[in-house]
Structure 1
Amino acid sequence: MVGFSVIAAVVAFAGTMLWLRGERAFSKTWSVTADFEDAGGLAVRSPVTYRGIMVGNVSDIKVTPQAVRVSIQISEDDLQLTLPVQATVASASLLGGDSQVALSSLGPPLKKDAPMPKSARCKGQGVLCEGATIQGSEAPSIATITNSLQEILEQVKKEDLVPKLVGSTQQFDATLTDIQKLSNQLTIDLARAAPTISNLNEATAQAASASRHINNVVSAFDNPTTMTDLKQTVSNARSLTATFDEVGGDVEKLTADPQFMAAVRSVTIGLGQFFNELYPASTPDVTKP
Protein backbone atom coordinates (compact mmCIF):
# COMPACT_ATOMS: atom_id res chain seq x y z
CA MET A 1 0.00 0.00 0.00
CA VAL A 2 2.85 2.32 0.85
CA GLY A 3 4.54 1.55 -2.48
CA PHE A 4 1.39 2.36 -4.40
CA SER A 5 1.09 5.67 -2.59
CA VAL A 6 4.71 6.52 -3.45
CA ILE A 7 4.14 5.72 -7.13
CA ALA A 8 0.96 7.83 -7.17
CA ALA A 9 2.81 10.72 -5.56
CA VAL A 10 5.65 10.51 -8.12
CA VAL A 11 3.18 10.46 -11.01
CA ALA A 12 1.26 13.40 -9.55
CA PHE A 13 4.48 15.36 -9.04
CA ALA A 14 5.65 14.63 -12.60
CA GLY A 15 2.26 15.67 -14.00
CA THR A 16 2.34 18.87 -11.99
CA MET A 17 5.84 19.73 -13.27
CA LEU A 18 4.81 19.04 -16.85
CA TRP A 19 1.74 21.22 -16.41
CA LEU A 20 3.85 24.06 -14.98
CA ARG A 21 6.14 23.79 -18.01
CA GLY A 22 3.19 23.99 -20.36
CA GLU A 23 3.29 20.32 -21.33
CA ARG A 24 0.58 17.75 -20.97
CA ALA A 25 1.10 14.04 -20.65
CA PHE A 26 -0.48 11.92 -23.32
CA SER A 27 -1.36 15.06 -25.35
CA LYS A 28 -1.09 15.20 -29.13
CA THR A 29 1.10 18.28 -29.31
CA TRP A 30 3.75 18.89 -31.96
CA SER A 31 6.55 21.40 -32.23
CA VAL A 32 8.37 23.57 -34.74
CA THR A 33 11.28 25.98 -34.52
CA ALA A 34 11.32 29.65 -35.52
CA ASP A 35 14.46 31.76 -36.02
CA PHE A 36 14.27 35.49 -35.18
CA GLU A 37 16.78 38.29 -35.52
CA ASP A 38 15.15 39.91 -32.49
CA ALA A 39 12.84 38.00 -30.18
CA GLY A 40 11.25 41.26 -29.02
CA GLY A 41 10.44 40.34 -25.40
CA LEU A 42 9.42 36.71 -25.91
CA ALA A 43 9.64 34.37 -22.93
CA VAL A 44 8.91 30.75 -22.17
CA ARG A 45 5.13 30.17 -22.08
CA SER A 46 4.46 33.19 -24.31
CA PRO A 47 1.30 32.46 -26.29
CA VAL A 48 1.32 31.32 -29.92
CA THR A 49 -1.69 32.33 -32.04
CA TYR A 50 -3.06 31.60 -35.49
CA ARG A 51 -5.64 34.03 -36.87
CA GLY A 52 -6.05 35.47 -33.40
CA ILE A 53 -6.74 32.10 -31.71
CA MET A 54 -4.27 30.64 -29.21
CA VAL A 55 -2.93 27.34 -30.57
CA GLY A 56 0.17 26.81 -28.39
CA ASN A 57 2.99 28.45 -26.53
CA VAL A 58 6.73 29.02 -26.51
CA SER A 59 8.49 26.06 -24.89
CA ASP A 60 12.15 27.13 -25.17
CA ILE A 61 14.35 30.06 -26.28
CA LYS A 62 18.00 29.78 -27.24
CA VAL A 63 20.30 32.57 -28.36
CA THR A 64 22.82 31.63 -31.07
CA PRO A 65 25.35 33.76 -32.97
CA GLN A 66 23.12 33.57 -36.04
CA ALA A 67 19.63 34.11 -34.55
CA VAL A 68 17.32 33.70 -31.60
CA ARG A 69 15.93 30.15 -31.91
CA VAL A 70 12.46 29.75 -30.42
CA SER A 71 10.83 26.35 -29.91
CA ILE A 72 7.08 26.50 -30.46
CA GLN A 73 4.74 23.85 -29.12
CA ILE A 74 1.39 23.61 -30.89
CA SER A 75 -1.42 21.91 -29.00
CA GLU A 76 -3.69 21.42 -32.01
CA ASP A 77 -2.63 18.16 -33.68
CA ASP A 78 -5.00 18.76 -36.62
CA LEU A 79 -3.80 22.29 -37.40
CA GLN A 80 -2.74 22.25 -41.04
CA LEU A 81 -0.74 25.21 -42.36
CA THR A 82 0.27 25.45 -46.01
CA LEU A 83 3.81 26.53 -46.77
CA PRO A 84 5.31 29.04 -46.60
CA VAL A 85 4.52 29.78 -42.97
CA GLN A 86 5.78 32.89 -41.19
CA ALA A 87 6.12 33.52 -37.45
CA THR A 88 5.87 37.11 -36.26
CA VAL A 89 6.71 38.48 -32.83
CA ALA A 90 3.97 40.96 -31.94
CA SER A 91 2.72 42.80 -28.87
CA ALA A 92 -0.81 42.59 -27.62
CA SER A 93 -1.32 46.15 -28.94
CA LEU A 94 0.59 48.80 -30.83
CA LEU A 95 1.35 50.56 -27.55
CA GLY A 96 3.02 47.48 -26.12
CA GLY A 97 2.11 44.61 -23.81
CA ASP A 98 3.10 40.97 -23.51
CA SER A 99 4.79 39.59 -26.60
CA GLN A 100 3.40 36.64 -28.51
CA VAL A 101 4.11 34.66 -31.66
CA ALA A 102 1.57 34.98 -34.47
CA LEU A 103 1.62 32.27 -37.15
CA SER A 104 0.46 33.08 -40.67
CA SER A 105 0.12 30.82 -43.69
CA LEU A 106 1.06 32.43 -47.00
CA GLY A 107 0.49 29.42 -49.22
CA PRO A 108 -2.44 28.31 -51.40
CA PRO A 109 -5.53 26.57 -49.98
CA LEU A 110 -5.07 23.05 -48.60
CA LYS A 111 -5.77 20.01 -50.71
CA LYS A 112 -8.52 17.67 -49.56
CA ASP A 113 -6.11 14.83 -48.85
CA ALA A 114 -3.42 16.99 -47.24
CA PRO A 115 -1.55 15.06 -44.50
CA MET A 116 -1.55 16.01 -40.82
CA PRO A 117 1.55 17.65 -39.30
CA LYS A 118 2.64 14.46 -37.46
CA SER A 119 1.94 12.15 -40.41
CA ALA A 120 4.80 10.10 -41.82
CA ARG A 121 3.99 11.37 -45.32
CA CYS A 122 3.82 15.05 -44.29
CA LYS A 123 7.22 16.11 -45.66
CA GLY A 124 7.22 17.35 -49.25
CA GLN A 125 3.45 17.85 -49.34
CA GLY A 126 3.46 21.64 -48.92
CA VAL A 127 2.30 21.46 -45.31
CA LEU A 128 4.06 22.59 -42.12
CA CYS A 129 5.28 19.41 -40.44
CA GLU A 130 6.49 18.60 -36.95
CA GLY A 131 10.14 19.50 -36.43
CA ALA A 132 10.22 22.04 -39.27
CA THR A 133 12.01 25.40 -39.01
CA ILE A 134 10.27 28.56 -40.13
CA GLN A 135 11.50 32.10 -40.61
CA GLY A 136 10.50 34.62 -37.96
CA SER A 137 10.09 38.39 -38.11
CA GLU A 138 9.19 41.25 -35.79
CA ALA A 139 5.89 43.07 -36.25
CA PRO A 140 5.85 46.89 -36.27
CA SER A 141 5.34 48.60 -32.94
CA ILE A 142 5.81 52.02 -31.42
CA ALA A 143 9.32 51.04 -30.38
CA THR A 144 10.36 49.71 -33.79
CA ILE A 145 8.85 52.72 -35.58
CA THR A 146 10.64 55.08 -33.20
CA ASN A 147 13.94 53.24 -33.71
CA SER A 148 13.53 53.38 -37.49
CA LEU A 149 12.82 57.11 -37.39
CA GLN A 150 15.83 57.62 -35.14
CA GLU A 151 18.05 55.76 -37.59
CA ILE A 152 16.72 57.86 -40.47
CA LEU A 153 17.36 61.10 -38.57
CA GLU A 154 20.88 60.01 -37.69
CA GLN A 155 21.56 59.15 -41.34
CA VAL A 156 20.20 62.54 -42.41
CA LYS A 157 22.45 64.26 -39.88
CA LYS A 158 25.45 62.19 -40.94
CA GLU A 159 25.01 62.99 -44.63
CA ASP A 160 24.25 66.69 -43.96
CA LEU A 161 21.11 66.36 -46.03
CA VAL A 162 19.33 69.34 -44.47
CA PRO A 163 22.04 71.93 -45.38
CA LYS A 164 22.30 70.36 -48.85
CA LEU A 165 18.54 70.56 -49.26
CA VAL A 166 18.56 74.20 -48.15
CA GLY A 167 21.38 74.94 -50.61
CA SER A 168 19.50 73.22 -53.42
CA THR A 169 16.38 75.23 -52.61
CA GLN A 170 18.33 78.50 -52.68
CA GLN A 171 19.93 77.55 -55.98
CA PHE A 172 16.52 76.71 -57.39
CA ASP A 173 15.18 80.10 -56.27
CA ALA A 174 18.15 81.85 -57.90
CA THR A 175 17.51 79.97 -61.14
CA LEU A 176 13.85 81.01 -61.08
CA THR A 177 14.93 84.64 -60.57
CA ASP A 178 17.28 84.46 -63.57
CA ILE A 179 14.53 82.97 -65.70
CA GLN A 180 12.18 85.81 -64.68
CA LYS A 181 14.82 88.40 -65.59
CA LEU A 182 15.38 86.75 -68.96
CA SER A 183 11.64 86.72 -69.62
CA ASN A 184 11.37 90.44 -68.81
CA GLN A 185 14.30 91.24 -71.08
CA LEU A 186 12.76 89.26 -73.91
CA THR A 187 9.51 91.21 -73.47
CA ILE A 188 11.41 94.51 -73.68
CA ASP A 189 13.34 93.38 -76.77
CA LEU A 190 10.16 92.28 -78.50
CA ALA A 191 8.56 95.66 -77.77
CA ARG A 192 11.58 97.42 -79.25
CA ALA A 193 11.57 95.20 -82.32
CA ALA A 194 7.85 95.75 -83.03
CA PRO A 195 8.37 98.91 -85.20
CA THR A 196 11.15 97.20 -87.13
CA ILE A 197 8.94 94.19 -87.76
CA SER A 198 6.13 96.53 -88.90
CA ASN A 199 8.52 98.30 -91.31
CA LEU A 200 9.69 94.96 -92.63
CA ASN A 201 6.10 93.92 -93.26
CA GLU A 202 5.40 97.19 -95.10
CA ALA A 203 8.58 96.83 -97.16
CA THR A 204 7.58 93.27 -98.01
CA ALA A 205 4.15 94.47 -99.17
CA GLN A 206 5.74 97.21 -101.31
CA ALA A 207 8.20 94.73 -102.81
CA ALA A 208 5.31 92.42 -103.65
CA SER A 209 3.48 95.30 -105.36
CA ALA A 210 6.61 96.27 -107.33
CA SER A 211 7.05 92.65 -108.32
CA ARG A 212 3.49 92.59 -109.68
CA HIS A 213 4.16 95.77 -111.71
CA ILE A 214 7.33 94.28 -113.14
CA ASN A 215 5.43 91.15 -114.07
CA ASN A 216 2.82 93.30 -115.83
CA VAL A 217 5.54 95.15 -117.78
CA VAL A 218 7.23 91.89 -118.77
CA SER A 219 3.89 90.40 -119.82
CA ALA A 220 3.00 93.49 -121.83
CA PHE A 221 6.27 93.49 -123.73
CA ASP A 222 6.01 89.76 -124.20
CA ASN A 223 2.59 90.11 -125.89
CA PRO A 224 2.93 90.31 -129.75
CA THR A 225 -0.32 92.28 -130.08
CA THR A 226 0.86 94.85 -127.55
CA MET A 227 4.17 95.24 -129.32
CA THR A 228 2.40 95.73 -132.70
CA ASP A 229 0.11 98.38 -131.19
CA LEU A 230 3.07 100.08 -129.55
CA LYS A 231 4.95 100.21 -132.87
CA GLN A 232 1.87 101.62 -134.57
CA THR A 233 1.54 104.21 -131.81
CA VAL A 234 5.18 105.24 -132.22
CA SER A 235 4.68 105.49 -135.98
CA ASN A 236 1.60 107.68 -135.49
CA ALA A 237 3.54 109.84 -133.06
CA ARG A 238 6.25 110.37 -135.67
CA SER A 239 3.61 111.26 -138.24
CA LEU A 240 2.15 113.82 -135.83
CA THR A 241 5.57 115.32 -135.29
CA ALA A 242 6.19 115.56 -139.02
CA THR A 243 2.80 117.19 -139.66
CA PHE A 244 3.33 119.63 -136.79
CA ASP A 245 6.69 120.63 -138.28
CA GLU A 246 5.18 121.14 -141.76
CA VAL A 247 2.49 123.58 -140.64
CA GLY A 248 4.86 125.44 -138.37
CA GLY A 249 2.83 124.96 -135.26
CA ASP A 250 -0.43 126.48 -136.61
CA VAL A 251 -3.13 125.01 -134.35
CA GLU A 252 -6.00 125.90 -136.70
CA LYS A 253 -4.42 124.05 -139.61
CA LEU A 254 -3.59 121.13 -137.43
CA THR A 255 -7.15 120.76 -136.09
CA ALA A 256 -8.54 121.19 -139.58
CA ASP A 257 -6.38 118.36 -140.89
CA PRO A 258 -8.36 115.07 -140.65
CA GLN A 259 -5.25 112.94 -140.92
CA PHE A 260 -3.59 114.79 -138.03
CA MET A 261 -6.63 114.42 -135.77
CA ALA A 262 -6.92 110.70 -136.65
CA ALA A 263 -3.24 110.26 -135.76
CA VAL A 264 -3.77 112.05 -132.43
CA ARG A 265 -6.75 109.83 -131.67
CA SER A 266 -4.74 106.70 -132.62
CA VAL A 267 -1.79 107.70 -130.44
CA THR A 268 -4.06 108.42 -127.50
CA ILE A 269 -5.92 105.13 -127.81
CA GLY A 270 -2.68 103.18 -128.24
CA LEU A 271 -1.05 104.70 -125.15
CA GLY A 272 -4.19 104.10 -123.15
CA GLN A 273 -4.27 100.43 -124.07
CA PHE A 274 -0.57 100.07 -123.32
CA PHE A 275 -0.92 101.56 -119.82
CA ASN A 276 -4.01 99.46 -119.16
CA GLU A 277 -1.94 96.37 -119.80
CA LEU A 278 0.83 97.65 -117.53
CA TYR A 279 -1.51 98.64 -114.68
CA PRO A 280 -4.75 96.70 -114.98
CA ALA A 281 -7.54 98.29 -112.95
CA SER A 282 -9.45 96.26 -110.35
CA THR A 283 -13.07 96.79 -111.18
CA PRO A 284 -15.96 95.13 -109.36
CA ASP A 285 -17.90 92.43 -111.10
CA VAL A 286 -21.18 94.17 -112.00
CA THR A 287 -22.73 90.89 -113.15
CA LYS A 288 -23.02 89.72 -109.52
CA PRO A 289 -26.20 90.78 -107.69
Structure 2
Amino acid sequence: MILTVTPNPSLDRTYEVPSLDRGEVVRATGERVDPGGKGVNVSRAVTAAGRRTVAVLPLGGAPGALVADLLDAQGIEVAPVPITGATRSNIALAEADGVLTKINAPGPELTEAERELLLDTVRRQSHDADWIACCGSLPRGLAPSWYAELVARAHTAGVRIALDTSGPALRQALGERPDVVKPNAEELAEVVGRPLATIGDAVKAAEELRELGAVAVLASLGADGQLLVSDTGTWYGSARVDAVRSNVGAGDSSLAGFLVAGGAGPQALASAVAHGAAAVQLPGSVMPTPADLDPAAVTVTARVPVDRPLTEPVP
Protein backbone atom coordinates (compact mmCIF):
# COMPACT_ATOMS: atom_id res chain seq x y z
CA MET A 1 0.00 0.00 0.00
CA ILE A 2 1.20 3.50 -0.80
CA LEU A 3 0.13 6.19 1.64
CA THR A 4 0.05 9.72 0.26
CA VAL A 5 0.13 12.93 2.28
CA THR A 6 -1.12 16.16 0.72
CA PRO A 7 -0.91 18.96 3.30
CA ASN A 8 -2.47 21.58 1.00
CA PRO A 9 -5.04 19.85 -1.25
CA SER A 10 -7.42 21.70 -3.52
CA LEU A 11 -10.61 21.56 -5.47
CA ASP A 12 -9.57 22.31 -9.04
CA ARG A 13 -12.03 23.90 -11.46
CA THR A 14 -10.94 24.01 -15.09
CA TYR A 15 -12.79 26.17 -17.63
CA GLU A 16 -12.22 25.82 -21.36
CA VAL A 17 -12.41 29.22 -23.06
CA PRO A 18 -11.90 30.32 -26.70
CA SER A 19 -9.51 33.06 -25.56
CA LEU A 20 -8.78 35.12 -22.47
CA ASP A 21 -9.55 38.82 -22.81
CA ARG A 22 -8.94 40.95 -19.74
CA GLY A 23 -11.89 43.06 -18.67
CA GLU A 24 -14.35 41.19 -20.88
CA VAL A 25 -17.06 38.61 -20.17
CA VAL A 26 -15.57 35.27 -21.18
CA ARG A 27 -17.99 32.41 -21.85
CA ALA A 28 -16.65 28.96 -21.10
CA THR A 29 -17.19 26.16 -23.60
CA GLY A 30 -16.45 23.42 -21.07
CA GLU A 31 -15.98 22.86 -17.35
CA ARG A 32 -14.62 20.12 -15.11
CA VAL A 33 -14.00 19.72 -11.40
CA ASP A 34 -11.19 17.54 -10.04
CA PRO A 35 -9.59 16.79 -6.69
CA GLY A 36 -6.20 18.49 -6.72
CA GLY A 37 -2.80 18.36 -5.07
CA LYS A 38 0.37 16.47 -5.90
CA GLY A 39 -0.20 13.71 -3.34
CA VAL A 40 -3.80 13.35 -4.51
CA ASN A 41 -2.50 12.87 -8.06
CA VAL A 42 -0.07 10.19 -6.87
CA SER A 43 -2.96 8.33 -5.24
CA ARG A 44 -5.00 8.63 -8.43
CA ALA A 45 -2.08 7.23 -10.46
CA VAL A 46 -1.50 4.38 -7.98
CA THR A 47 -5.20 3.50 -8.18
CA ALA A 48 -5.08 3.59 -11.98
CA ALA A 49 -2.13 1.17 -11.79
CA GLY A 50 -4.33 -1.26 -9.84
CA ARG A 51 -2.61 -0.83 -6.47
CA ARG A 52 -4.03 0.15 -3.10
CA THR A 53 -3.51 3.65 -1.77
CA VAL A 54 -4.75 5.75 1.12
CA ALA A 55 -4.80 9.54 0.80
CA VAL A 56 -4.26 11.59 3.96
CA LEU A 57 -5.32 15.20 3.57
CA PRO A 58 -6.77 18.02 5.65
CA LEU A 59 -10.28 18.81 4.47
CA GLY A 60 -12.69 21.56 5.47
CA GLY A 61 -15.86 23.25 4.31
CA ALA A 62 -17.90 22.46 1.21
CA PRO A 63 -14.83 22.28 -1.08
CA GLY A 64 -13.23 19.69 1.22
CA ALA A 65 -16.39 17.58 1.27
CA LEU A 66 -16.49 17.65 -2.54
CA VAL A 67 -12.81 16.60 -2.76
CA ALA A 68 -13.58 13.60 -0.54
CA ASP A 69 -16.62 12.68 -2.65
CA LEU A 70 -14.66 12.92 -5.90
CA LEU A 71 -11.86 10.71 -4.57
CA ASP A 72 -14.36 8.20 -3.22
CA ALA A 73 -16.02 8.06 -6.65
CA GLN A 74 -12.61 7.12 -8.10
CA GLY A 75 -12.21 4.27 -5.62
CA ILE A 76 -9.55 6.03 -3.52
CA GLU A 77 -9.61 5.51 0.23
CA VAL A 78 -9.43 8.82 2.06
CA ALA A 79 -8.19 9.43 5.60
CA PRO A 80 -9.50 12.97 6.16
CA VAL A 81 -8.16 15.35 8.79
CA PRO A 82 -11.03 17.72 9.68
CA ILE A 83 -10.03 21.40 9.76
CA THR A 84 -11.97 24.55 10.55
CA GLY A 85 -10.87 26.42 7.41
CA ALA A 86 -12.18 25.63 3.94
CA THR A 87 -10.08 23.62 1.50
CA ARG A 88 -8.74 25.94 -1.19
CA SER A 89 -10.35 26.16 -4.63
CA ASN A 90 -8.08 26.68 -7.64
CA ILE A 91 -9.11 27.87 -11.08
CA ALA A 92 -7.51 27.02 -14.42
CA LEU A 93 -8.44 28.75 -17.69
CA ALA A 94 -7.58 26.59 -20.70
CA GLU A 95 -7.54 28.53 -23.98
CA ALA A 96 -8.14 26.93 -27.36
CA ASP A 97 -4.51 27.51 -28.41
CA GLY A 98 -3.23 25.43 -25.48
CA VAL A 99 -2.28 28.30 -23.15
CA LEU A 100 -3.19 27.49 -19.54
CA THR A 101 -3.68 30.23 -16.92
CA LYS A 102 -3.85 29.01 -13.32
CA ILE A 103 -5.04 30.86 -10.24
CA ASN A 104 -4.00 28.99 -7.08
CA ALA A 105 -5.53 30.04 -3.77
CA PRO A 106 -3.28 30.15 -0.68
CA GLY A 107 -5.37 27.66 1.25
CA PRO A 108 -6.50 27.59 4.88
CA GLU A 109 -4.28 28.18 7.90
CA LEU A 110 -3.96 25.08 10.07
CA THR A 111 -4.06 25.39 13.85
CA GLU A 112 -1.53 23.73 16.15
CA ALA A 113 -4.11 21.06 17.02
CA GLU A 114 -4.79 20.39 13.33
CA ARG A 115 -1.04 20.14 12.67
CA GLU A 116 -0.69 17.45 15.34
CA LEU A 117 -3.80 15.64 14.14
CA LEU A 118 -2.37 15.53 10.62
CA LEU A 119 0.88 13.97 11.90
CA ASP A 120 -1.04 11.52 14.08
CA THR A 121 -3.28 10.48 11.17
CA VAL A 122 -0.20 9.72 9.06
CA ARG A 123 1.20 7.64 11.93
CA ARG A 124 -2.01 5.63 12.32
CA GLN A 125 -2.44 5.04 8.59
CA SER A 126 1.20 4.09 7.94
CA HIS A 127 1.16 0.67 9.64
CA ASP A 128 0.35 -1.15 6.38
CA ALA A 129 2.27 1.20 4.08
CA ASP A 130 5.18 0.15 1.89
CA TRP A 131 5.85 3.82 1.12
CA ILE A 132 4.69 7.22 2.31
CA ALA A 133 4.65 9.83 -0.47
CA CYS A 134 4.62 13.40 0.87
CA CYS A 135 3.89 15.86 -1.88
CA GLY A 136 3.26 19.51 -2.59
CA SER A 137 3.38 22.85 -0.84
CA LEU A 138 2.71 23.45 2.84
CA PRO A 139 -0.36 25.41 3.93
CA ARG A 140 -0.23 28.35 6.27
CA GLY A 141 0.30 27.16 9.82
CA LEU A 142 2.87 24.50 8.91
CA ALA A 143 6.49 25.59 9.26
CA PRO A 144 9.08 24.63 6.61
CA SER A 145 10.38 22.06 9.14
CA TRP A 146 7.07 20.13 9.05
CA TYR A 147 8.17 17.74 6.30
CA ALA A 148 11.45 17.13 8.14
CA GLU A 149 9.49 16.12 11.22
CA LEU A 150 7.28 13.83 9.17
CA VAL A 151 10.31 12.13 7.57
CA ALA A 152 11.87 11.58 10.99
CA ARG A 153 8.66 10.08 12.38
CA ALA A 154 8.26 7.79 9.36
CA HIS A 155 11.78 6.46 9.74
CA THR A 156 11.21 5.87 13.45
CA ALA A 157 8.21 3.75 12.44
CA GLY A 158 10.33 1.88 9.88
CA VAL A 159 8.50 3.18 6.80
CA ARG A 160 10.22 4.41 3.63
CA ILE A 161 9.33 7.92 2.56
CA ALA A 162 9.33 9.75 -0.77
CA LEU A 163 9.27 13.54 -0.85
CA ASP A 164 8.17 15.85 -3.65
CA THR A 165 8.35 19.46 -2.55
CA SER A 166 10.60 22.48 -3.02
CA GLY A 167 12.23 25.48 -1.38
CA PRO A 168 12.95 25.65 2.37
CA ALA A 169 10.70 22.63 3.06
CA LEU A 170 12.87 20.46 0.81
CA ARG A 171 16.13 21.84 2.18
CA GLN A 172 15.17 21.19 5.78
CA ALA A 173 13.82 17.71 5.08
CA LEU A 174 17.05 16.60 3.39
CA GLY A 175 18.75 16.50 6.78
CA GLU A 176 16.41 13.69 7.85
CA ARG A 177 17.53 11.52 4.89
CA PRO A 178 14.30 10.92 2.93
CA ASP A 179 14.54 7.67 0.96
CA VAL A 180 13.84 9.40 -2.34
CA VAL A 181 13.24 13.00 -3.38
CA LYS A 182 11.67 13.91 -6.73
CA PRO A 183 12.67 17.38 -7.89
CA ASN A 184 12.26 18.78 -11.37
CA ALA A 185 15.07 20.72 -13.07
CA GLU A 186 13.96 24.08 -11.64
CA GLU A 187 13.85 22.67 -8.11
CA LEU A 188 17.28 21.09 -8.54
CA ALA A 189 18.71 24.43 -9.64
CA GLU A 190 17.05 26.22 -6.74
CA VAL A 191 18.61 23.91 -4.14
CA VAL A 192 22.15 24.08 -5.54
CA GLY A 193 21.90 27.76 -6.42
CA ARG A 194 23.19 27.66 -9.98
CA PRO A 195 21.86 27.24 -13.56
CA LEU A 196 21.48 23.88 -15.26
CA ALA A 197 22.36 23.74 -18.96
CA THR A 198 23.10 20.06 -19.58
CA ILE A 199 22.05 16.66 -18.32
CA GLY A 200 25.47 16.46 -16.69
CA ASP A 201 24.66 19.63 -14.73
CA ALA A 202 21.49 17.93 -13.48
CA VAL A 203 23.47 14.85 -12.44
CA LYS A 204 25.89 16.98 -10.41
CA ALA A 205 23.00 18.81 -8.77
CA ALA A 206 21.34 15.50 -7.87
CA GLU A 207 24.61 14.28 -6.37
CA GLU A 208 24.70 17.40 -4.21
CA LEU A 209 21.20 16.67 -2.95
CA ARG A 210 22.49 13.27 -1.90
CA GLU A 211 25.37 14.93 -0.08
CA LEU A 212 22.79 17.04 1.74
CA GLY A 213 20.99 13.89 2.89
CA ALA A 214 18.72 12.41 0.20
CA VAL A 215 19.23 8.65 -0.12
CA ALA A 216 18.15 8.72 -3.77
CA VAL A 217 17.13 11.43 -6.22
CA LEU A 218 14.56 10.85 -8.97
CA ALA A 219 14.84 13.97 -11.12
CA SER A 220 12.30 14.90 -13.81
CA LEU A 221 13.85 16.75 -16.74
CA GLY A 222 10.71 17.25 -18.81
CA ALA A 223 11.17 16.35 -22.46
CA ASP A 224 14.74 15.26 -21.66
CA GLY A 225 13.67 12.29 -19.55
CA GLN A 226 14.49 11.38 -15.98
CA LEU A 227 17.52 10.66 -13.80
CA LEU A 228 17.93 8.30 -10.88
CA VAL A 229 20.96 8.95 -8.70
CA SER A 230 21.48 6.64 -5.71
CA ASP A 231 24.21 4.84 -3.79
CA THR A 232 24.01 1.93 -6.23
CA GLY A 233 24.53 3.99 -9.38
CA THR A 234 23.23 6.64 -11.76
CA TRP A 235 20.77 5.87 -14.55
CA TYR A 236 19.16 7.92 -17.28
CA GLY A 237 15.72 7.10 -18.68
CA SER A 238 13.85 8.47 -21.68
CA ALA A 239 10.86 7.51 -23.77
CA ARG A 240 9.45 8.13 -27.22
CA VAL A 241 6.39 10.39 -27.03
CA ASP A 242 4.29 10.72 -30.18
CA ALA A 243 2.28 13.78 -29.12
CA VAL A 244 2.04 15.79 -25.92
CA ARG A 245 -1.54 16.58 -24.90
CA SER A 246 -1.10 17.69 -21.29
CA ASN A 247 1.74 17.65 -18.78
CA VAL A 248 -0.56 18.24 -15.80
CA GLY A 249 0.22 15.61 -13.17
CA ALA A 250 2.88 13.88 -15.29
CA GLY A 251 5.51 14.21 -12.57
CA ASP A 252 3.08 12.81 -10.01
CA SER A 253 2.34 9.89 -12.31
CA SER A 254 6.09 9.29 -12.64
CA LEU A 255 6.53 9.14 -8.87
CA ALA A 256 3.63 6.70 -8.60
CA GLY A 257 5.19 4.52 -11.31
CA PHE A 258 8.50 4.57 -9.45
CA LEU A 259 6.94 3.53 -6.15
CA VAL A 260 4.67 0.78 -7.49
CA ALA A 261 7.77 -0.77 -9.11
CA GLY A 262 9.58 -0.95 -5.79
CA GLY A 263 11.10 2.51 -5.55
CA ALA A 264 14.70 1.56 -6.30
CA GLY A 265 16.96 0.74 -9.23
CA PRO A 266 16.71 0.94 -13.01
CA GLN A 267 13.52 -1.13 -13.19
CA ALA A 268 11.70 1.41 -11.03
CA LEU A 269 13.13 4.24 -13.16
CA ALA A 270 11.81 2.53 -16.30
CA SER A 271 8.36 2.36 -14.69
CA ALA A 272 8.56 6.04 -13.74
CA VAL A 273 9.48 7.04 -17.29
CA ALA A 274 6.73 4.86 -18.78
CA HIS A 275 4.09 6.38 -16.49
CA GLY A 276 5.25 9.94 -17.15
CA ALA A 277 5.36 9.42 -20.92
CA ALA A 278 1.88 7.91 -20.90
CA ALA A 279 0.49 10.74 -18.75
CA VAL A 280 1.59 13.53 -21.11
CA GLN A 281 -0.20 11.80 -23.98
CA LEU A 282 -3.53 11.81 -22.11
CA PRO A 283 -5.92 14.78 -21.76
CA GLY A 284 -6.00 17.04 -18.70
CA SER A 285 -4.91 15.34 -15.50
CA VAL A 286 -6.01 11.84 -16.55
CA MET A 287 -3.73 9.21 -15.03
CA PRO A 288 -2.54 6.27 -17.13
CA THR A 289 -3.69 2.70 -16.64
CA PRO A 290 -1.48 -0.31 -17.46
CA ALA A 291 -3.08 -0.38 -20.92
CA ASP A 292 -1.74 3.12 -21.62
CA LEU A 293 1.87 2.21 -20.88
CA ASP A 294 4.39 1.44 -23.63
CA PRO A 295 7.43 -0.17 -21.98
CA ALA A 296 8.99 -0.83 -25.40
CA ALA A 297 9.26 2.94 -25.94
CA VAL A 298 11.38 3.36 -22.77
CA THR A 299 15.17 3.29 -22.67
CA VAL A 300 17.15 3.17 -19.42
CA THR A 301 20.93 3.26 -19.43
CA ALA A 302 23.85 3.75 -17.04
CA ARG A 303 25.64 5.65 -19.82
CA VAL A 304 24.28 9.08 -19.03
CA PRO A 305 24.59 11.63 -21.90
CA VAL A 306 26.16 14.24 -19.64
CA ASP A 307 27.04 16.63 -22.48
CA ARG A 308 23.54 16.74 -23.96
CA PRO A 309 22.01 20.23 -23.59
CA LEU A 310 18.69 20.44 -21.80
CA THR A 311 15.77 21.29 -24.07
CA GLU A 312 14.67 23.83 -21.46
CA PRO A 313 17.81 24.93 -19.57
CA VAL A 314 17.32 26.51 -16.16
CA PRO A 315 18.95 29.98 -16.03
TM-score, normalization: structure 2?
A: 0.18
Specify which structure has the bigger relative contact order, considering alpha-carbon pairs within 8 angstroms and separated by 6 or more residues: 2
TM-score, normalization: structure 1?
A: 0.19
Which protein has the bigger helix share?
A: 1
Which protein has the bigger strand share?
A: 2
